[in-house]
Amino acid sequence: MPKKLTKIQKIWHKIRKKCRQAWYFIKHRVFRLSETMAVRHDFCRSHKPKLTIVFIHGIASSYDAWRDTVKILEQDAELKDVRFVGIDLMGFGHSPRPKKFKYDYDDYRKALSRTLKKLKIKTPIMLAGHSMGCLISMDYSLLGSRKIDHLILVSPPIFRKNEIGSIADRFYHKAYTDLENHAGDAIIQQIAHIVDFLSSFDQKTLNTPAFKQSMDNLILNDQNWRRIFTVKTPTDAIHGRFDPLIIGENLRIAATRNRKITLTETVGAHDISALKQKRVVAIIKSRCLEALKSGAK
C-alpha cells in the first residue's frame, strides 16, 4: 500500500506545483524562452573533454534505457576524455510536455539544437540513438545546426512505404500501435507485460500526445526509408537478430547502398540488454577512440 501523505507534505507538493507553473509562465510567456530537453546525465572524468557523445532514447522510454551502457563506458579509463550526456526527449521522462509541440522531426530537431546549445559543447559530437532515437539522430545529422561527427544507431526502425500498412502482422505493431488503439482495455496489461520484457517501453505514456504523435510523425513515416540513403555522416547501425521490432533486411540494403553505414548484426532483441550490450559498448568505445586519436593529430 502506498504511504499516505501528511497534511504538510500535501501542502508542500501544491506549493512546488504552483512554483513550477509560475516559472513556466515567466520563462515561456514573459521572456519567450525556448524549451530545452531534460539533461539526465552529464559526466566526464577529465576537466577538458575532447569528445562529446549524446545518448537519445526511443519512444515511450527515457534516458534510463541507456543508463547501464553509459555507466560501463564512462568507467573505462581509455575514455576519460569523453563527455557522456544523456537526455530525455520532449514529452518523455523528465522533459517538458509543451502543448504546442507537434512531436515531428522539425520540433524534435529544434529542441535538440536548443539543448546542445545549452550544454555549451565545444568538442566534436557523436549521437547515439536507440529505436526512435535513431531517427531523431539521423534527422539531426542531415538538417541540424551542429555538425555531427559520427552516428551510433541501435535498433533503428526503418520501414518501406508498402511495409507500414502490413505492420499489423508484426509484433512491432502489436507492441506499439495496438497498445495505442486499445489503451484502457483489459488485454492491454497482458500485452504490456510482453513489451516490458522485450524493451524499455513505458506503458504510462500510451495516451499521451508525445506517444501518439511520435508514432505517426516519426516511426510510421514512410520517408525514413529514403532518408537513410542520404545520410552523409559515418554511421554504425546495430540490431539484434532476434529483434521482432526491426526489419533486418532493410538495414542490410541500406548498408549496401550507403557506404557511410556499417551494419552489425548481433544477438539480442530490441532493447540494449546484456545479450547485445557488450557489442554496443565495444563499437561505441572503438569509435570514440578513433575520434580521440584523430583529434590528437
What are the pLDDT digits (tens) for 34-77? 579 999 999 999 999 999 999 999 998 999 999 999 999 999 99
* pTM, two decimal places: 0.81
pLDDT at 183: 47
The residues, ordered by sequence, that sit 6+ positions from 58 with a Cβ below 8 Å of its Cβ are: 65, 129, 130, 131, 132, 133, 134, 155, 199, 200
Contacts (Cβ under 8 Å, ≥6 apart) of 15: none
- Which pLDDT belongs to residue 21? 64
For residue 35, what pLDDT is reported? 78
- Per-residue b or e along 68-92, where b marks 16 or more CB atoms closer than 10 Å to that residue's CB: ebbeebbeeeebebbbbbbbbbbbb
pLDDT in the model for residue 24 = 55
Q: Strands of 150-154's sheet, edge to edge?
A: 38-43, 82-88, 51-56, 125-130, 150-154, 235-240, 261-266
Residue 10 pLDDT: 76
Spatial separation of the C-alpha atoms in residues 140 and 116, rounded to whole Å: 11
Tell me which residue of 57, 118, 54 sits closest to 288, measured CA to CA: 54
Q: Determine which helix (DSSP H) or strand (DSSP E) holds 17, and give its type and residue range.
A: helix 7-25
pLDDT at res. 161: 86
Q: Are 123 and 150 in contact (CB under 8 A)?
A: no
Per-residue pLDDT, 296:
64
Q: Do the beta carbons of residue 82 and residue 51 sit within 8 Å?
A: yes
Q: Is the distance from CB of 101 to CB of 268 less than 8 angstroms?
A: no
What is the pLDDT at residue 157? 92
Residue 172 pLDDT = 47
Residues in the chain where the model's pLDDT stays below 70: 1-5, 20-21, 23-34, 165-203, 296-297
Q: What is the pLDDT of residue 9?
A: 76
